[in-house]
Amino acid sequence: MKLPDHITLPAGKRPAKGPDRTPIYAMVGNPNCGKTTLFNALTGLRQKVGNYPGVTVEKKIGITYSQHGRPIQLIDLPGAYSLAARSPDEAVLRDVLLGRREDTPQPDRIICVVDASNLERNLYLVHQLLDLGRPLIIALNMMDMAATAGMRIDAKALERSLGVPVIPCEAVNGRGLVELKLAMSRIELPLARHRWDVPAAVAPAVAELQASLTGNDQRPPLVARAEALLLLTDFDTIRVAGSRPLSARTLGVLAQWRERWSAEKTDWSGALIHSRYAAINTLCTGVILRGRDQGPSTSDRLDAVLCHSVWGWLVFAAIMAVMFFSIFSLAEYPMNWIDAHVAALGTWVKGAMAPGDLRDLITDGIISGVGGIVVFLPQILILFFFVGLLESTGYMARAAFIMDRPMSKVGLNGRSFIPLLGSYACAIPGIMATRTIENAKDRLVTILVAPLMSCSARLPVYLLMIATLLPSTTVPTSTKAGIMLLMYAFGTLGAFGFAWLFKRYLFQGGVPHMIMELPAYQPPRFKEITRHMLERGWLFLKNAGTIILAISIVLWFLTTYPKHPDPAATPTEQIAHSFAGRTGHLLEPVIKPLGFDWRIGIGLVTSFAAREVFVSSMGVIFGVEGTDNDPAPLRDALRAAHWPSGAVLFTPLVCFTLMVYYVFAMQCMSTVAVVKRETNSWRWPLFQIAYMTGTAWLVCFVIYQAGRALGY
- Average pLDDT for 148-172: 88
pLDDT of residue 212: 92
- Pairwise pLDDT comparison (239 vs 389), residue with the higher score: 389
Secondary structure element (H or E) that encloses residue 87, with its range: none
pLDDT per residue as tens digits for the range 522-543: 788 788 788 878 877 787 677 6
Contacts of 64 (CB under 8 A, 6+ apart): 42, 43, 46, 71, 72, 74, 181, 184
Q: Is residue 129 scored above 80 in pLDDT?
A: yes
pLDDT at 630: 35
More confident residue, 550 or 604: 604
- The neighbour count for residue 559, using CB atoms within 10 Å, is 26
Radius of gyration, CA atoms only, the chain = 29
Query: Which pLDDT score is estimated for 293?
Result: 59
In 3D, which of 535, 481, 475 has the Cα closest to residue 330?
A: 481
For the segment 686-698, what is each residue's pLDDT rounded down to a tens digit? Answer: 999 999 999 999 9
Looking at residue 623, what is its pLDDT? 62
Q: Which CATH number is correct for 24-184, 3.40.50.300, 3.20.20.70, 3.40.50.970, 3.40.50.1000?
A: 3.40.50.300
- The length of the chain is 712
pLDDT score for 294:
60
Q: Which residues pair with 50 in a beta bridge?
A: 59
pLDDT over 60 (residue 10):
no
d(CA 84, CA 240): 7
Q: Give yes or no for a contact between 448 and 410, defined as CB atoms under 8 angstroms apart.
A: no
Flag the least confident range among 140-149, 224-233, 372-381.
372-381
Split at pLDDT 50, 70, 90, the class of 516 is: low
Q: What pLDDT is stored for residue 18 in this prediction?
A: 47
Q: How confident is the model at residue 514 (pLDDT cuts 50, 70, 90)?
A: low
Q: Mean pLDDT across the chain, nearest whole number?
A: 81
Before 562, cis peptide (omega within 30)?
yes
Q: Indicate the SS3 state at residue 701.
A: helix
Average pLDDT of 594-612? 85
Closest by Cα among 370, 363, 373, 383 to 320: 383
Give the mean pLDDT of 199-226. 88
Backbone angles phi, psi at 402, to 5 degrees: -70, -20
Asked whether residue 85 carries a pLDDT value surpassing 90, the answer given is no
In this predicted structure, the answer to whether residue 474 has a pLDDT above a threshold of 70 is no
pLDDT at 500 over 80: yes
Which pLDDT value is given to residue 55? Answer: 46
Q: What is the pLDDT of residue 1?
A: 34
Task: Pick the more confident residue, 262 or 15.
Answer: 262
Number of Cβ within 10 Å of residue 540's Cβ equals: 23
Instruction: State the Cα–Cα distance between residues 582 and 339, nearest whole angstrom.
Output: 31
Residue 160 has pLDDT above 50, yes or no: yes
Query: Using CA atoms, how far apart are residues 153 and 296, in angstroms rounded to an integer?
Result: 20
- Asked if pLDDT for residue 441 goes beyond 50, the answer is yes
> In 3-state terms, the chain is what percent helix, strand and coil (to 5)?
60, 5, 30
Question: What pLDDT, on the 0 to 100 scale, is given for residue 664?
Answer: 94
Q: Are 480 and 401 in contact (CB under 8 A)?
A: no
Region 636-644: mean pLDDT is: 87
pTM: 0.64
Three-state SS across 538-569? HHHHHHHHCHHHHHHHHHHHHHHCCCCCCCCC
Selected residue with higher pLDDT from 709 and 191: 709
Which 8-state DSSP code applies to residue 508? Answer: -
DSSP 649: S
Distance between CA 656 and CA 700 in Å, rounded?
A: 9
- pLDDT at position 629 over 60: no
DSSP 35-47: HHHHHHHHHTT-E
Where in the chain are the domains? 24-184, 203-290
pLDDT of residue 472: 61
pLDDT at position 9, please? Answer: 35
Q: Of the spans 339-353, 379-393, 394-408, which averages the highest pLDDT?
A: 339-353
CB count within 10 Å of CB 276 equals 20
Least confident of 21-25, 391-395, 470-474, 644-648: 470-474
CA distances from 646 to 215, 603, 649 (A): 84, 21, 9
**Mean pLDDT, rounded, for 494-507:** 88
Which are the contacts of 577, defined by CB distance < 8 A and separation ≥ 6? 562, 563, 564, 569
Buried b (16+ CB within 10 A) or exposed e, 444-457: bbbbbbbbbbbbbb
Which residues lie across from 115 on neighbouring strands? 141
pLDDT at res. 425: 67
* Confidence (pLDDT) at 509: 65
Check the CA dihedral 413-418-423-426 and report its sign. Answer: negative
Sequential DSSP letters for 358-393 = HHHIIIIIIIHHHHHHHTTHHHHHHHHHHHHHHHHH
Share of the chain above pLDDT 70, in %: 86
Residue 482 has pLDDT above 60, yes or no: yes
Indicate whether 3 pLDDT > 60: no
pLDDT of 624 reads 40
What's the rounded Cα separation, in Å, for the pair 2 and 189? Answer: 10
Mean pLDDT, range 188-194, rounded to an integer: 75
- Between CA 8 and CA 21 the distance in angstroms is 18
CB 122 within 8 A of CB 280: no
Least confident of 53-57, 103-107, 337-341, 623-627: 623-627
Q: How far is it, in rounded angstroms, from Cα 569 to Cα 27?
A: 66
What's the first-to-final CA gap in the chain, in angstroms? 76
Closest C-alpha to 125, from 198, 24, 226, 41: 226
Least confident of 290-304, 313-327, 434-448, 591-605: 290-304
- Average confidence (pLDDT) over 235-239: 72
What DSSP assignment string belongs to 606-637? HTTS-TTHHHHHHHHHHHTTS-SSS---HHHH
Specify whether the CB–CB gap between 132 and 226 falls below 8 A: yes
How far CA 479 is from CA of 324, 657, 706, in Å, comes to 11, 17, 23
Which architecture characterizes domain 203-290 according to CATH? Orthogonal Bundle (1.10)
Other Cβ atoms closer than 10 A to 629: 6
Mean pLDDT of 139-152: 86
**Could you give the CA distance from residue 251 to residue 543 in angstroms, rounded to a whole number?**
51
**Ramachandran region, residue 443 (left: φ > 0; alpha: ψ -120 to 50; beta: rest):** alpha
Q: Kindly report, residue by residue over 267-311, the tens digit of the pLDDT.
A: 888 888 888 888 888 888 888 887 665 666 677 788 888 888 888
Scored b (16 or more CB within 10 A) or e, 105-122 reads: bbbbbbbbbbbbbbbebb
More confident residue, 157 or 19: 157
Neighbours of 61 (CB within 10 A): 17
Q: How confident is the model at residue 661 (pLDDT cuts 50, 70, 90)?
A: very high
The per-residue pLDDT for 202 is: 87
Name the residue among 142, 169, 150 with its Cα closest to residue 522.
Answer: 142
Position 58 scores a pLDDT of 65
DSSP 506: I
The DSSP letter of residue 592 is G
Dihedral sign of CA atoms 245, 249, 251, 254 in order:
negative
Distinct helix (H) and strand (E) counts, the chain: 34, 9
Residue 712 CA to chain centroid, in angstroms?
40
